[in-house]
Amino acid sequence: MLASPPLQPETNPPQGGEEGLQPGSEASPSNETTLDIKSSEQSHSAPPDDYAQLQRRFILATLIVSALVVAITALAFDLHIASSVLVGALAGVLYLRLLARSVGKLGNGSKSVSKIQLIVPVVLVISASRFPQLELLPAFLGFLLYKPALILQGLLEA
């Protein structure tokens, strides 16, 4: 939205006097309005694109760190523990995605971050306690793998 309404051409231009344009001086309000609209659109479209790229980089970094940790866990321990870490890591990626979407909505009618992403760790802990196939500690550590990925991504950007 523009701060002021776009200029409309007058249907009845002023007659005589000094209210009209001087001969030889050419001004085009429509060109200035077009330039203002284009620059306004560019400035409003750039931040969401940057934020979307940042989200993708964070999620990709989380997936890479998670894949490495799951592979190392599978080699060092058994597949049972590695699968628990994998489930926790996937829950962490889901949590990060929900959090990023909630933060992305800030300013667009939302004044606070949604709490829906907090359901993910609760469901993870409940499912780890209900299902004997999931180990609680490896699943929770897998969930927390998004944090070192974010730190690593921050260090690489600096």
**Residue pLDDT, tens place only, 40-85:** 444 455 567 888 999 999 999 999 999 999 999 999 999 999 999 9
Within-domain flag for 19 = no
Within-domain flag for 73 = yes
Domain tally, the chain? 1
- Its pTM stands at 0.68
Residue ranges in the chain whose pLDDT is less than 50: 1-2, 20, 25, 28, 33-34, 38-43
Q: What is the pLDDT of residue 107?
A: 79
Q: For residue 110, give the 3-state DSSP assignment.
A: strand
Within-domain flag for 133 = yes
Within-domain flag for 111 = yes
Neighbouring C-beta atoms of residue 87, cutoff 10 Å: 22
Look up residue 144 and give its DSSP letter. T
Within-domain flag for 23 = no
Distance separating alpha carbons of residues 33 and 66, to the nearest angstrom: 50
Structural domain of residue 75, as residue ranges? 50-152
Within-domain flag for 35 = no
Q: What is the pLDDT of residue 112?
A: 86
Q: For residue 106, give the 3-state DSSP assignment.
A: strand
